[in-house]
Structure 1
Amino acid sequence: MQAATATPVIHVVDDEAPFRRSLVFLLESMGWQAVGHASAEAFLEAAPELPAAGGCLVLDIRMPRLSGLELQRRLKAAQSLFPVLFMTGHGDVDLAVQAMKEGAVDFLQKPFKDQQMLDAVERAIQLSCERHQASRRCQGARELLARLSPRESEVAKQVALGLANKEVARDLGISENTVHVHRQHIMEKTDTGSAAELARLILRADPSGLD
Structure 2
Amino acid sequence: MAAKAKIFLVDDDPSVQRGVSALLKAADYDVTVFPSGDAFLGELSKLDLGGAALLVDVRMPGIQGLELQEKLRSDGVALPVVVMTAHGDIPMAVKAMQNGAASFLEKPFTVEEVTDALDRALAGGGKAAPAPAALTAKYDTLTPREREVMLEIIKGGANKEIARILDVSPRTVEVHRQKVMTKMEAGSVAELVRMGLSLGLAV
Aligned-pair distance for 1:20?
1.0
Question: Which blocks of at least 5 consecutive residues in structure 2 are unaligned?
Answer: 126-203
Hey, what does 2:48 align to over in structure 1?
A: 49
Hey, what does 2:116 align to over in structure 1?
A: 119
2:49 is aligned with what amino acid?
L
Paired residues in the alignment total 122
CA-atom RMSD in angstroms: 1.5
Give CA-to-partner distance per residue, 1:42-68, whole Å, 9 cap, x none. Answer: 1001112312xx120001000011100
TM, length-normalised to structure 2: 0.57
SS of 2:79's equivalent in the other structure is: coil
SS of 1:127's equivalent in the other structure is: coil
8 A Cα contact 1:12 1:35, kept in partner: yes
Q: After the TM superposition, which segments of 4 or more aligned residues of structure 1 sit over 6 Å from their partners?
A: none
- How far apart are the structure 2 equivalents of 1:67 and 1:59? 9
8 A Cα contact 1:55 1:124, kept in partner: no
Out of 61, 77, 81, the position equivalent to 2:58 is 61
Instruction: Work out the percentage of aligned pairs sharing the same amino acid.
Output: 39
SS of 1:91's equivalent in the other structure is: helix
TM, length-normalised to structure 1: 0.55
Give CA-to-partner distance per residue, 1:25-83, whole Å, 9 cap, x none. Answer: 111112220011000001001112312xx120001000011100000010001111110
Aligned-pair distance for 1:7?
2.5
- How far apart are the structure 2 equivalents of 1:59 and 1:127? 17
Question: Which blocks of at least 5 consecutive residues in structure 1 are unaligned?
Answer: 129-211
SS of 2:48's equivalent in the other structure is: coil
- How far apart are the structure 2 equivalents of 1:126 and 1:29? 20
2:69 is aligned with what amino acid?
Q
8 A Cα contact 1:11 1:57, kept in partner: yes
- How far apart are the structure 2 equivalents of 1:96 and 1:79? 21
Out of 87, 90, 99, the position equivalent to 1:90 is 87
8 A Cα contact 1:12 1:24, kept in partner: yes
Hey, what does 1:78 align to over in structure 2?
A: 75
